[in-house]
Amino acid sequence: MMGYMKYAAAVLGASSCAACGGNAVEVLPREEVSVFSSSDAGLERAYSWAREMALSYVHDGGDPVGLWYEAALPQREAFCMRDVSHQSVGAHILGLAAHNKNMFGRFVSNISEGRDWCSYWEINRYDKPAPVDYASDDAFWYNLNANFDVMQACLKMYAWTGDMDYIAGDAFAEFYDRTAADYVARWMLEPENVMRRPRHMNSPAEFDPANMFHTCRGLPSYVEDFGGLTMSADLLAVMYAGFAARADMAALRGDAAAETGARRMAEEYRTILNDRWWDAEKTRYQTFLSEDGTFHRGEGVPFILWFGAADGDRVDAAVRDILAREWNVENMSAFPALFYRLGYGEEAYSFLTRLPDVDRCEYPEVSYGVIEGVVSGAMGIEPARDGSLLNTCSRMAGEAEMRIDNMPFRDGYVSVVHDGGYATELENRTGGAIVWRASFMGDCSGVKVGRRNADGVSTWSDPRGNTVTSVTVEVPAGRTVRVEAER
């Protein structure tokens, strides 16, 4: 078996060929990857805790399944489709691109008509479906959200790595195609059918309502403790995200017809969610639909925001809905990155600094969520969906300094320093130039790139209505560029 460093180099090398012209970049030892520091003690403590915890779940190729990290309940020695989809950005930041690709590869390669176009919900270290979730192809646990979640997560992995296998590799492409057509049809998930699905579908010949592997073989939600539902807001939201990702993938391949079809499907799911699941009287989303056509309330609203499916003027109402109740750690692990993106910095910081101390903080998703919350949330470091540029924006209030060194991007690394809220440096140690969109909170009077006044400065609003000032510059390979905004 290929050793970890060689395997990682091979994956990064593929990214290099796809995105950066093929120039080799030395792979750093893990302890030097994504090293974070900050003048804010709470932020630094949260990241340090999360980094140590997350890396304790990493397995570097000594098992039959290959490179993997734990993404399920602790002690299961396994990874499930939902958790990998949600942990993968944090994992990439920590230098686990090769692990992500192997794990997503296992999921997409195991889609099967005999399982009604499901994959294995959870795979263990022995490269087998985890027995706790699988007895046979007729009897297993599966949340229907999973295929679409993997699709949107794989687009994110392309944006971070530039690896075209995520877009057009044979196993990945077949998984996307089968999901968009056969899986949707087999489970009555077409836009015209989602509101009239039966409770149980594709059941074994001798269906046993007391057998969990029969009744949960195709759950139409990630929420598993609400019986009798036939459709959910979280499934509609992730179908929107999955088809939107499919459209973006088609655009990257230059397939205009496929892009148009997928975009239309995505918008149909989003329209159903916002037209039929919004309770105008109570200004909130319903979350579950039962067999008798009745709407119900429960978990699920965070997924509507996470997958970007809410109508813009309803985002604030959905945030207030979330903040009005208590949540488990699976949901809370996504809140720092989510709330920072939506413009709710104070709330994001509160969750981010509390998560290391909450009950069940050892659940793997928590530490990976904190990593994403610090880097993509507080520091605003995220690639564009098509990987064409890298965004940064300090979302910390006041003059907090933040620095991350050797963060993986494309075929190499970048280092980003936020010198308070109005100056940022980006060092490019990849094999090619990076288009950098440097942003600052507020309406700034001017922006300098190095010592010169920047051209093309723009202002825009985040989902909460906060004004953001941005400028786009090119950072050549091997160079460091500093951008400062005037207050």
pLDDT tens column, 432-469: 999 999 999 999 989 999 999 999 999 999 999 999 99
Residue 3 has a pLDDT of: 31
Q: What is the pLDDT of residues 42-92, one digit of tens each?
A: 999 999 999 999 999 999 999 999 999 999 998 899 999 999 999 999 999
Those residues whose C-beta lies under 8 Å from the C-beta of residue 72, and which sit 6 or more positions away, are 78, 79, 80, 83, 122, 130, 364
pLDDT band at residue 20 using 50, 70 and 90 as cut-offs:
very low
Closest CA to 367 of 105, 100, 93: 93
Mean predicted confidence (pLDDT) in 246-259: 97
Domain membership flag for residue 154: no
Rounded distance, CA 77 to CA 398, Å?
42
Domain membership flag for residue 437: yes
Q: Where are the alpha helices (DSSP H) in 56-193?
A: 81-93, 97-109, 145-161, 165-168, 170-178, 184-186
Quote the domain boundaries for residue 439. 391-486
DSSP 382-410: EE-TTSS-EEEEE--STT--EEEEEEEET
Structure tokens, 228 = 């009798």
Rounded distance, CA 318 to CA 304, Å?
8
Residue 5 has pLDDT above 60, yes or no: no
Domain tally, the chain: 1
In angstroms, what CA-CA distances link 281 with 111, 278, 284? 42, 9, 8
Domain membership flag for residue 202: no
Domain membership flag for residue 110: no
Residue 482 maps to which CATH number? 2.60.40
Those residues whose C-beta lies under 8 Å from the C-beta of residue 224, and which sit 6 or more positions away, are 143, 216
Those residues whose C-beta lies under 8 Å from the C-beta of residue 186, and which sit 6 or more positions away, are 116, 117, 201, 202
Domain membership flag for residue 431: yes
Mean predicted confidence (pLDDT) in 378-392: 97
Residue 17 has pLDDT above 60, yes or no: no
Residue 272 has a pLDDT of: 98
DSSP, collapsed to helix, strand or coil, labels residue 130 as coil
Domain membership flag for residue 462: yes
Residue 18 has pLDDT above 50, yes or no: no
Domain membership flag for residue 66: no
DSSP 244-288: HHHHHHHHHHT-HHHHHHHHHHHHHHHHHHHHHSEETTTTEE--E
Q: With pLDDT > 70 as the criterion, what percentage of the chain qualifies?
A: 95
Rounded distance, CA 202 to CA 233, Å?
22
Residue 404 has pLDDT above 70, yes or no: yes
Q: What are phi and psi of 83, to 5 degrees?
A: -70, -40
Residue 106 has a pLDDT of: 98
For the chain, the average pLDDT equals 93
Domain membership flag for residue 454: yes
Those residues whose C-beta lies under 8 Å from the C-beta of residue 255, and which sit 6 or more positions away, are none
